[in-house]
Amino acid sequence: MFKIDNLSFSYNTNEKELKNNVENINLKIKKGEVVLLCGESGCGKTTTTRCLNGLIPYFFNGQRTGEAYLNGKKISEMPIYKLAENIGSVFQDPKTQFFNVDTTSEIIFGCENLSMPENELKKRLKTVVDEFKLYNLLDKSIFKISGGEKQKIACASVNAVYPDAFILDEPSSNLDSESSWNLRDILQKWKADGKTVVIAEHKLFFLEDVLDRVIFFKNGKIESEWNIDEFKKINHRKLGLRQLNLNNLKVYHNDYYSKNQEFFELKNFTFKYDKSPILDIKHVQIPKNEIIAIIGKNGAGKSTFAHCLCGLERSCKGELILDNKVLKRKERLKKSYMVMQDVNHQLFAESVIDEVLLSMDDENEELAEDILKNLNLIHLRDVHPMALSGGEKQRVAIASAIASKKEILVFDEPTSGLDLKNMMDVSKNLIYLQKLGITSFIITHDYELILETCTHIIHFDNGLIIDNYKIDEEKLKKFFIK
């Protein structure tokens, strides 16, 4: 089906040093195979998928040698709309891969582009809706459905063209665990239909039963290749990979971090949208100065809770009782801070040091540099925050929170789409914050991060806290592992 012959590629960048993003890739993928491309961030797996679906050389410019073939024809010489008939591509961010705003038009968008007649369009829409069970998702705005549902629509819409091969680039980054399992079901269906599937991914846990073969990339080269049985036996951690079977993981911090445990209380956190309650907490006790995981399905009320906790929702009249002081919304706004999923939205200054100084009441450059040192950012002191990598941006946001003497930090999905190394960095930062006396709440779907870092769990469902417990492997497994 696919053949890659001695391919090297480097993106055109302004930097003087010419480094190949992928180097001497040789790969054959048979029809009907399901192949995983894995490795650290920047190892070349995304670049390889782009060579296969024609975005290289059609969309991304750069220096290329070698060739990729689809059924014996050179991919670089086929027009990209011809490739669209044979290859369906699903991308990482469901928000930016939809051309339409409503789901129905999106499903049929690819077929319209290929000029299929109108009755064929109708027929295909019906078939796809039937196969993927999308009855409830038709004619909805893509802004009103969850990440998991968006990814389902994305899969359905590439499927509507009936391509022979699917190429997925980190499709599960923004998905909760249940949606990841649903994605596995879709992959299994494609496999059963005899389609070829190439998937580049960090999260591996949902792929165990689907894969045929695993290609491991390191620094732009193919380092190793295994069939699935061999892959199950190797030490994933050693290679910097996420866990394939979540059952192998153990809780790392079995006990609370702080010795003399204090608690704070939340009272009457309620929030309504269009008159229906989406958050309803009468009273709850939460340990202070711990790392607390907030888990639950998409739409369970986790983000709403985070917004209310940080004092961002005016109509939430809840109270937080901390050291016998009652904190109302405005005081909470001063004491808490949220590190958003899209960190770009919260960096404002022109350099990293300015960003930290901006948060201080009295600008103290020495103290600011101290904070940067501790977060390993001091070498980036004068760089513009927008020029940093994702992980660095997140650390700058954390630095500014420390500088403004926040006591409660909320992280919204801090590890979505991160490889093992970057996840461990996030975990290290969280533990550093704990030592500073800060209580962190982490909204997350990342089972590995929870086991590595957290000591307390709050489980949301339908706007209610259905469980509130010290970390417990068995309980967590029930929620995360299918």
Interface residues for another protein in 34-73 (CB under 8 A)?
Answer: 53-55, 58-59
Residues 108-127 that bind another protein (CB under 8 A): 108-118, 121-122, 125-126
Which range, of 34-42, 61-69, 284-292, 339-347, touches another protein by CB under 8 A?
339-347
Which range, of 25-33, 263-271, 281-289, 331-339, touches another protein by CB under 8 A?
331-339
**Smallest separation, CB 235 to another protein (Å):** 34
Residues 229-288 that bind another protein (CB under 8 A): none
- Report which of 287, 222, 221, 291 is spatially closest to residue 253, judged by C-alpha positions: 291
> Is residue 80 part of the contact set for another protein (CB under 8 A)?
yes
> Which of 38, 161, 372, 423 touches another protein (CB under 8 A)?
161
Q: Which is nearer to another protein, 78 or 464 (CB)?
A: 78
Q: In whole angstroms, give the CA distance from residue 131 to residue 383.
A: 50
The C-alpha torsion from 62 through 37 and 108 to 160, rounded to 10°, is: 130
- Report which of 358, 352, 359, 357 is spatially closest to residue 382, judged by C-alpha positions: 352
> Is residue 79 part of the contact set for another protein (CB under 8 A)?
yes
**What character string, x for contact with another protein (CB under 8 A) and - otherwise, covers 435-464?**
------------------------------
> Is residue 469 part of the contact set for another protein (CB under 8 A)?
no
With a CB cutoff of 8 Å and minimum separation 6, the contacts of 76 are: 54, 57, 64, 67, 68
In sign, the C-alpha dihedral spanning 164, 169, 174, 176 is positive
Which range, of 180-188, 240-248, 333-341, 424-432, touches another protein by CB under 8 A?
333-341
> Which of 15, 17, 77, 139 touches another protein (CB under 8 A)?
139
Q: In whole angstroms, give the CA distance from residue 320 to residue 408.
A: 11
**Smallest separation, CB 236 to another protein (Å):** 29
Q: Where are the beta strands (DSSP E) in 232-296?
A: 263-273, 276-287, 291-295
User: CA-CA distances (angstroms) from residue 104 to 114, 156, 353?
Assistant: 17, 10, 47
**Smallest separation, CB 287 to another protein (Å):** 23
Six-digit token string for 324 = 């016998």
Which range, of 33-41, 92-100, 225-233, 317-325, touches another protein by CB under 8 A?
92-100
> Is residue 353 part of the contact set for another protein (CB under 8 A)?
no
Cβ–Cβ < 8 Å for 168, 50: no
With a CB cutoff of 8 Å and minimum separation 6, the contacts of 136 are: none
At residue 206, φ and ψ (nearest 5 deg) are: -90, 0
Q: In whole angstroms, give the CA distance from residue 168 to residue 49.
A: 8
* Size, binding site for another protein by CB under 8 A: 71
**Smallest separation, CB 290 to another protein (Å):** 21
**Smallest separation, CB 463 to another protein (Å):** 20
> Is residue 351 part of the contact set for another protein (CB under 8 A)?
no
> Which of 250, 259, 325, 345 touches another protein (CB under 8 A)?
345
User: Is 191 in a helix, a strand, or coil?
Assistant: helix
Q: Which is nearer to another protein, 199 or 249 (CB)?
A: 199
Q: In whole angstroms, give the CA distance from residue 68 to residue 25.
A: 10
> Which of 41, 97, 172, 177 touches another protein (CB under 8 A)?
97
Which range, of 87-95, 199-207, 438-446, 459-467, touches another protein by CB under 8 A?
87-95
User: Is 390 in a helix, a strand, or coil?
Assistant: helix
> Is residue 143 part of the contact set for another protein (CB under 8 A)?
yes
Six-digit token string for 408 = 């409660």
What number of CA atoms fall less than 13 Å from residue 48's CA on the CB side? 37
Q: Which is nearer to another protein, 76 or 346 (CB)?
A: 346
> Which of 14, 18, 72, 96 touches another protein (CB under 8 A)?
96
Q: In whole angstroms, give the CA distance from residue 130 to residue 208.
A: 27
> Is residue 347 part of the contact set for another protein (CB under 8 A)?
yes
Residues 174-213 that bind another protein (CB under 8 A): none
**What character string, x for contact with another protein (CB under 8 A) and - otherwise, covers 370-389?**
----------------x---
Residues 290-319 that bind another protein (CB under 8 A): 307, 310, 312
Q: Which is nearer to another protein, 326 or 333 (CB)?
A: 333
> Is residue 400 part of the contact set for another protein (CB under 8 A)?
yes
> Which of 172, 174, 359, 415 touches another protein (CB under 8 A)?
359
Which range, of 33-41, 191-199, 340-348, 442-450, touches another protein by CB under 8 A?
340-348
- Report which of 300, 342, 304, 397 is spatially closest to residue 96, judged by C-alpha positions: 342
With b for 16 or more beta-carbon neighbours within 10 A and e for fewer, the 36-48 pattern comes to bbbbbbebbbbbb
Q: In whole angstroms, give the CA distance from residue 92 to residue 134.
A: 21
